[in-house]
């Protein structure tokens, strides 16, 4: 039984890492090379099935789906990374101040976070995109804002737990300034929880981007986005059923990989799971 | 014995904490963690503070360092009032005192190397070059009985006793005069306890340190202290020199505590004085003498009036009506 659990732990890490690193390599390659130009139409070749020339077939404009999936990793990673950067930066800042200072500052920060959390994420993103306009950066900003409360909560609970720890008292005694106590002493001690949360945020952001693009509000054509491709493929579900598999599979696989990775991180960093 | 210099004087120190109310109707309650404590600490001595858990002994130590804001009362360090100090003035005062904490697993940051932990106070409070600091870290490690190469290691490579030594080295880093040791050995194995205690005593001789030694362990306090104060529910019930207090305890609480120390002596079986009941809640301490709910010698007066400290002899003061003249 123990061996099975041990193996399960490692499979999460190995498979998760393989998937994510695989997609990441595809993204790097896509900057320099794709089998076909992703935006050049070739109407005579439209809606071809998978073949040795077009691995995943072609879309309604005769563009190579495989090339567009490759290029789509750029969108996925760009949105994911930007979202995580925004969410983690502001989440840590707000959570750290709320948790460390406490009192009414804590109340105000956390009630504001609650308010933000009370909105269904996708509706809030829709609203923000409607205000700022669609596009990769705006989508990422909207998703980043949605990610802030989750990170802030985790950070806050960590800081509340640690602010009265004896090592923090000791640091106060020798005159370490509060900013340094927060970010040099406490933060490294709760970074593992934040890393896990950030990985999940990454996956959620990617899903949300696909959803927004599916609704036509995320990444704008002709830039390839998996969500957008999913939407476009819908119209040809009967005549070209293979079209939907590529973007759908790509989204599923990458999100799965990220979730597995975050599970593996949690298992490795949580001292309680180590026996 | 020559008249000793008073290093720290504490007058009527109180530290109350408000309790969160469940509703607006409920009356405001406070926990009286430290309730009217007065004492003085002489330069070069070790004052032991004993009391059961919840008696406010740790809070008392922290209040002296202003890690806990005192609600009322005076703290005089070398004759200077310090209870109102803030910012850099407070830091100047704190630089002369340091604290050794109870749990060596919680009081040191596990994400820092040992060298960095000991060096940090120097970097902040002393004007030393990097080389001088490194040299001093090595000296301190040697002083507390650790190898020099410990400075490059992380905490998880050390045992509890070794970690406490690191904590002591950190406390000594900026040459304090006064050290508050908050249960420094209670988290350690008995075999390691005496090593750390002896280290503390050696360092006291070497650096002319003054200790406030907080513990619930009477034998440990007896080993290290010159004078002992007994705390009960945030108040001092008895204070005296170690010799007098252990030989001739006056307060019924002290008597009960001392009778509970296990002794290996079959010729003279000791009579343990059993105490009834539990420590009352500091949120709602008994009126009159705080100890009257459990005192075997309770009198009518104890229920109404709070006894004040009275001098019994040169070495001993007690707060109990049994000794009213």
In sequence order, the 6+-apart residues with CB closer than 8 A to the CB of A169 are: B62, B67, B99, B101, B107
Q: Is the pTM of this model over 0.90?
A: no
Q: Which residues of B touch A190 (CB under 8 A)?
A: none
| pLDDT at position A232 | 86
Residue B105 lies in a domain: no
Alpha-carbon dihedral A58, A64, A66, A71, rounded to 10 degrees: -130
Q: Which residues have CB under 8 Å from A153's CB, separation 6+?
A: A95, A110, A113
A176 DSSP assignment: -
| Tokens matching residue A221 | 């054509």
Per-chain mean pLDDT for chain B = 86
Contact B141, B147 (CB under 8 A): yes
Q: Which residues pair with B179 in a beta bridge?
A: B98, B211
B159 falls within a domain: no
Domain hosting residue B218, numbered range: 1-20+27-96+210-261+271-325
Under an 8 A CB cutoff, do B98 and A172 touch? no
Nearest to A175 among B99, B103, B125 (CB): B125
Surface of B (96-115) touching A: CB under 8 A: 98-99, 101-103, 106-111
Interface of B with A in 142-201 (CB under 8 A): 167, 170, 173-174
Q: For residue B79, how many other CB atoms are within 10 A of its CB?
A: 9
What one-character-per-residue DSSP string does B161-180 give?
A: HHHHHHHHHHHHTT--SEEE
Query: Is residue B133 domain-resident?
Result: no
ipTM (interface pTM): 0.81
Pairing type for strands B72-77 and B178-182 reads unpaired
Could you say which of A176, A185, A189 has the minimum Cβ distance to residue B124? A176
The pLDDT value recorded for residue B213 is 93
Q: What angle do CA B47, B49, B50 make, to 5 degrees?
A: 140
3-state secondary structure of B234: coil
| pLDDT at residue B65 tops 60 | yes
Start-to-end Cα distance in chain B: 28
Secondary structure of residue B1 in the 3-state scheme: coil
Q: Which residues pair with B313 in a beta bridge?
A: B316
pLDDT in tens, B248-283: 888 888 888 888 877 776 676 667 777 777 778 877
B123 close to A (CB below 8 A): no
Q: Which residues contact B242 (CB under 8 A, 6 or more apart)?
A: B48, B221, B222, B225, B226, B227, B228
Burial of B62 (0-12, 13-18, 19+ CB in 10 A): buried
- Cis amide bond preceding B221, omega within 30: no
Rama region for B208: left / alpha / beta (φ>0; ψ in -120 to 50; rest): left
Closest Cα partner for B70 from B80, B54, B81?
A: B81
Class of residue B80 by CB neighbours under 10 A (exposed 0-12, middle 13-18, buried 19+):
exposed
Q: What percent of chain B has pLDDT over 70?
A: 97
Chain A positions touching B98 (Cβ under 8 A) are 173-174
Q: What is the mean pLDDT of residues B9-19?
A: 87
Give residue for tokens 């940090």: B120
In a domain, B176, yes or no: no
Q: Are B161 and B103 in contact (CB under 8 A)?
A: no
Q: What CATH number did the domain enclosing B50 receive?
A: 3.40.50.300
Structure token digits, residue A79: 């949105």
CA distance A206 to A225: 10
Q: Report pLDDT digits (tens) over B160-192.
A: 889 999 999 999 998 899 999 998 888 888 888
- Which whole-number Å values give the CA distances from B15 to B71, B99, B289, in the listed order? 5, 19, 19
Per-domain boundaries in chain A: 8-27+62-270
Number of helices (H) and strands (E), helices first, in chain B? 9, 12
B72 by Cβ neighbours in 10 Å (0-12 / 13-18 / 19+) ranks as middle
Least confident segment among A93-97, B24-28, B122-126: B24-28
Q: Which residue in A158, A161, A170 has the most chain B C-beta atoms within 10 A of its own C-beta, making it the best mutation to test that interface?
A: A170
pLDDT in tens, chain A (275 residues): 566 666 666 788 889 999 999 999 999 998 888 888 888 877 787 777 788 778 888 888 888 889 999 998 998 999 999 999 999 999 999 999 999 998 899 999 999 999 888 888 788 888 888 888 888 888 889 899 999 999 999 999 999 999 888 889 889 888 888 899 999 889 988 888 898 899 999 988 888 888 888 888 877 777 888 888 888 888 888 888 888 888 999 999 999 999 998 888 887 775 554 43
Q: What angle do CA B124, B125, B131 make, to 5 degrees?
A: 70
Measured in residues, chain B has a length of 325
Q: Please tell me the distance in Å from B110's CA to the nearest CA on chain A.
A: 8
Query: Do A268 and A13 contact (CB within 8 A), yes or no?
Result: yes
The model's pLDDT over B276-319, given as tens digits with 9 standing for 90+, comes to 777 788 778 888 888 888 888 888 888 888 888 888 887 888 88
CA B149 – CA B141 distance, rounded (Å): 9
Helices and strands: H and E segment counts in chain A? 10, 0
The two structure tokens encoding residue B223? 């080993």
The CATH topology of domain A8-27+62-270 is MetI-like fold (1.10.3720)
Provide CB contacts within 8 A for B81, sequence distance 6+: B74, B75
Q: Which residue of B has its CA nearest to A162?
A: B106
B22 Cβ contact list (under 8 Å, min separation 6) = none
Angle at A134 between CA A132 and CA A140, to 5 degrees: 80
**C-alpha B223: how far from its chain's center?**
15
- A99: its two tokens: 């948790």
- What digits encode the pLDDT tens for the residues B97-120? 889 998 888 888 888 889 999 999
**Domains contained in chain B, number:** 1
Tell me, rounded to whole angstroms, the distance of Cα A84 from its chain centroid.
Answer: 6
Residues 6+ apart with CB under 8 A from B60: B13, B15, B33, B34, B37, B49, B214, B231, B234
Position A270 scores a pLDDT of 59
């Amino acid at each position: 039984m123990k061996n099975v659990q041990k193996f399960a732990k490692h499979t999460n890490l190995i498979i998760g890492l393989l998937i994510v690193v695989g997609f990441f390599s595809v993204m790097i390659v896509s900057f320099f090379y794709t089998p076909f130009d992703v935006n050049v139409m070739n109407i005579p070749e439209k809606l071809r099935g998978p073949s040795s020339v077009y691995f995943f077939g072609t879309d309604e404009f005769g563009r190579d789906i495989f090339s567009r999936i490759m290029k789509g990793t750029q969108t996925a990673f760009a949105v994911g990374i930007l979202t995580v950067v925004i969410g983690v930066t502001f989440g840590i800042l707000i959570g750290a101040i709320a948790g460390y200072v406490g009192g009414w500052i804590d109340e105000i920060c956390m009630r504001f976070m609650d308010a933000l959390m009370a909105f269904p994420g996708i509706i809030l993103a829709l609203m923000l995109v409607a205000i700022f306009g669609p596009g990769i950066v705006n989508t990422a900003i909207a998703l980043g804002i949605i990610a802030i409360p989750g990170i802030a909560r985790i950070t806050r609970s960590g800081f509340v737990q640690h602010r009265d720890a004896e090592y923090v008292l000791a640091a106060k005694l020798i005159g370490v300034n509060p900013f340094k106590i927060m970010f040099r002493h406490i933060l490294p001690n709760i970074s593992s929880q934040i890393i896990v949360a950030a990985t999940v945020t990454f996956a959620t952001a990617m899903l949300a981007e696909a959803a927004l693009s599916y609704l036509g509000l995320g990444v704008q054509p002709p830039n390839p986005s998996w969500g957008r491709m999913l939407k476009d493929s819908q119209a040809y579900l009967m005549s070209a059923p293979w079209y939907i598999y590529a973007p759908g599979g790509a989204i599923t696989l990458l999100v799965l990989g990220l979730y597995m990775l975050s599970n593996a991180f949690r298992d490795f960093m949580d001292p309680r799971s180590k026996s | 014995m020559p008249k000793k210099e008073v290093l720290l004087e504490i007058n009527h120190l109180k530290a109350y904490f408000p309790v969160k109310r469940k509703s607006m109707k409920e009356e405001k309650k406070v926990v009286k963690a430290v309730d009217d404590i007065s004492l003085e600490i002489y330069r070069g001595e070790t004052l032991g503070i004993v009391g059961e858990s919840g008696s406010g002994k740790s809070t008392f130590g922290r209040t002296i360092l202003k890690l806990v804001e005192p609600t009322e009362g005076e703290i005089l360090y070398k004759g200077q009032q310090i209870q109102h100090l803030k910012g850099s003035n407070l830091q100047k005062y704190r630089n002369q005192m340091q604290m050794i904490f109870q749990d060596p697993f919680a009081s040191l940051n596990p994400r820092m190397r040992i060298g960095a932990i000991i060096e940090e106070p120097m970097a902040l409070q002393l004007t030393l070059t990097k080389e001088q600091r490194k040299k001093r870290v090595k000296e301190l490690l040697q002083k507390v009985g650790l190898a020099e190469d410990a400075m490059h290691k992380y905490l998880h490579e050390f045992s509890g006793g070794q970690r406490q030594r690191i904590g002591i080295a950190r406390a000594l880093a900026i040459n304090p005069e006064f050290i508050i040791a908050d249960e420094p050995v209670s988290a350690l194995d008995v075999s390691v306890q005496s090593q750390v205690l002896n280290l503390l005593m050696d360092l006291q001789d070497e650096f002319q340190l003054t200790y406030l030694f907080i513990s619930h362990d009477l034998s440990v306090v007896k080993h290290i202290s010159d004078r002992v104060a007994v705390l009960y529910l945030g108040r001092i019930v008895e204070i005296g020199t170690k010799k007098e207090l252990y030989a001739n305890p006056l307060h019924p609480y002290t008597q009960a505590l001392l009778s509970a120390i296990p002794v290996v002596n079959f010729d003279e079986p000791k009579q343990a004085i059993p105490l009834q009941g539990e420590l009352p809640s500091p949120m709602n301490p008994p009126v009159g003498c705080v100890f009257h709910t459990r005192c075997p010698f309770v009198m009518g007066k104890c229920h109404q009036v709070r006894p004040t400290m009275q001098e019994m002899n040169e070495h001993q003061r007690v707060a109990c009506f049994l000794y009213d003249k």
